Amino acid sequence: MKNILVINGPNLNLLGKRELEIYGKTSLKEIENKTKEFSKNIKLNTTFKQSNEESKIISWIHECVNDKYNGLLINAGAYTHTSIAIMDALKAIENIPIIEVHLSNIHQREEFRKKSYISEVADGVIFGFGAHSYILAIMAIENLLKKKKRLKKKTKKRNKTKNKKKK
Ligand code: DQA
């Protein structure tokens, strides 16, 4: 089973209690349970983490640099729009897909939410589908992982034929 890390940033622990008209009634625990259930069916194992501290988020990203996970899904909350440190940490990840996720449509809100430092580095972005954004992001990661597998197979095949020709 491939392991996917899901990092949640500041204030996301208050989902279900906070600005319900924007983020909905679903709690982070409920999102975690639904996402885990969905992932299991497509043979992915997801680990959920949440912190209100930037340094903790950065340390979790560093675990991805060390190949502990096969994919990263990140909702950095308000740090999305401010944190060069989180962007730099993400830049250090070379081998695994990164998907940025948001519950709300950040482009339909205040101007300052339109800038995302995470988007500079992420392979793709999913936003605006409420709690369902997480499921869509898992689907996107699965797709990228499959593509990666196909790519690996292709290069293996290519190298084999190259070696045969040399002989
Ligand atoms: C959010 C969007 C951010 O702008 C905001 O600061 C959040 C949540 C979202 O999931 O919609 O905390 O990341």
Q: Where are the domains of the chain?
A: 2-166
Cα 76 from Cα 9, distance rounded (Å): 4
For residue 104, report the distance from its CA to the centre of ligand 1, in Å.
Answer: 7
Q: How far apart are the C-alpha atoms of 167 and 163, rounded to whole Å?
A: 6
Q: How far apart are CA 104 and CA 12, in angstroms?
A: 12
Tens digits of per-residue pLDDT, 3-46?
A: 999 999 999 999 999 999 999 999 999 999 999 999 999 999 99
pLDDT tens figures, 101-132: 999 999 999 999 999 999 999 999 999 999 99
Q: Assign 98 a pLDDT band (cuts: 50, 70, 90).
A: very high
Question: Which atom of ligand 1 sits closest to the CA of residue 113?
Answer: 4
70 lines ligand 1 (CB under 6 A): no
For the domain with range 2-166, which CATH number is right: 2.40.10.120, 3.40.50.300, 3.60.70.12, 3.40.50.9100? 3.40.50.9100
Annotated catalytic residue 79: no
The closest alpha carbon to 106, from 98, 118, 93, belongs to: 118
> pTM above 0.95?
no
- 106 C-beta closer than 6 A to ligand 1: yes
pLDDT band at 51 (very low <50, low <70, confident <90, very high): very high
Active site residue 102: yes
